[in-house]
Amino acid sequence: RLPSGVAPHARRTAGARLAGADVAAMASLLNEAALPGPQGEDGPVYVDYNASTPIAREVADAMAPYLYEHWGNPSSAYVYGRRTAEAVANARRQLAALLNAQEAQAHVTFTSGGTESNNWAIRGAARAMRAADKKRSHIVTTCVEHPAVLEVCRFLRDVEGFELTEVAVDAEGVCAVEALEEAIRPGETALVTVMHSNNEVGALMPVREAAGLAHAAGALCHTDASQSVGKVPVDFVALGVDFLTVAGHKMYAPKGCGALIHRRDVPMEKFMIGAGHEQGRRAGTENVILNVGLGAAAALAHSRGVAQTAAKLAARREELRGALLATLEGAGVQARVNGPGDAARRLPNTLSISLRGVVGAKLVARVQDKVACSSGSACHAGAVRMSGVLRAMGVEPEWGDGTVRLSVGKYTTSRDVEVVAREIAVAAAEELRLGSGVTSG
């Protein structure tokens, strides 16, 4: 939520203080009183930040002038256009700074979000590689990618005749480097696309190693970093990838905005044909206000220090994990955590937890007035189907069907943690008492 009663000048002051704050001052700025959560006074506690984040107040303040004051077409040569053109250019610089996407090495192209960026990178790269060498018609990805990647790869296989290898993951949801190496075919593989982090269990993937293997085989490499940007350090140059996807609504920017970062020396087909917008790669008048919002969100994440943000998120997640496991145990509910056991190998904000004998979808529905979260299963017509990610990890249905994904964010408080732990434990115990009445499918 954007709290009411906060004057714009006060918000700008908080943003300015944040930009130069040290860690101690940042902790003070981010305390519970200063940053109330997105749910309002009476709404359920929000712990689904991997689904979407609220727009940060500082981001909304940065966008506001481009709704009312600066409305010119960025392609126009007069002052109204120059103002908005500079705003778009500044937003591009802000995002590049967060991701270390050096202007000499990378293009930062604004898009409508993660799905568009993934489609453009995967389809464009695969087609360009095959056009240059018809033997390069093979794509490598993992079996746990977001549908915005996996379905694009399957489309290229089913409709355009590409070969596709979907590499398996281990019990923690991580794709092994050795498995990627075995899947890549020198002289035949056109593209390797591996997500930076998994949206369900938070597993961080070996993207840098994937890029090295791809390049050694003459292929290109793409990563969908939608869930990672702003939560953990993401360095375009250090990763060595050719394409990187950003989604604004995962990092406190508006929905409907994102970006594709891609190396300047890699040929890329135009996404839209028309005029020379977005440096000639994506025709269509720029959405100034959304681009400004994405740039402001990037600047906000950069000014706070992503590593410090990651530490704060990890501490809150661990607080939630401990409280929830203890409360579930007290309620007689068996529980276990999914994903990497090593905190360095997972997103700092993500907690995937399975409750034995419970149906996650029914639990989420039961607590929805008190807690807003996601389940790792779907329940239709009396049958439960576990998510593809959990199935790929080899999670047994008796556990996987009862999976709940909780993802904290910068507005999550200790009070929120107490509410979530209490409500989920009570609901889970009630589900066990009543019995599921469903079968695994």
Which residues are tagged catalytic?
379
Amino acid at 301: A
- Burial class of residue 437 (count of CB atoms within 10 Å of its CB; 0-12, 13-18, 19+): exposed
Closest alpha carbon to 102 in 248, 303, 301, 265: 265
Give the whole-angstrom CA distance, residue 353 versus residue 7: 40
Question: With the C-alpha atoms ordered 216, 150, 107, 304, is the resulting torsion angle positive or negative?
Answer: negative
Give the whole-angstrom CA distance, residue 120 versus residue 117: 5
Q: Do 401 and 360 form a contact (C-beta atoms < 8 A)?
A: yes
Phi-psi bin for 371: left (phi > 0), alpha (psi -120 to 50), beta? beta
Phi, psi (rounded to 5 degrees) for 177: -60, -40
Amino acid at 62: A
Q: Do 350 and 317 form a contact (C-beta atoms < 8 A)?
A: yes
